[in-house]
Amino acid sequence: MKRKPDILWVLVVLFSLGVVTTGYTQSLWDRQGEPAPVVAPQR
């Protein structure tokens, strides 16, 4: 008989996947080395 996973474990897995994905995308953005253009306000 299999036990359903607790909602806490599901949240922990989802949170850890989010952290890993965010770290991976941040490292990809840092590797590009091109900062976003800054638009100065018109006067």
1-43 residue pLDDT tens: 567 779 999 999 999 999 999 999 888 877 776 656 667 777 6
What pLDDT does 39 receive? 73
As a three-state string, the secondary structure of 1-43 is CCCCCCHHHHHHHHHHHHHHHHHHHHHHHHHHCCCCCCCCCCC
What pLDDT does 35 receive? 59
Long-range contacts of 4-12 (CB under 8 A, 24+ apart): none
What pLDDT does 4 receive? 74
What pLDDT does 36 receive? 62
What pLDDT does 19 receive? 95
Q: What is the Cα–Cα distance from 15 to 34, expressed in whole angstroms?
A: 29
33-35-41 Cα angle (round to 5): 170
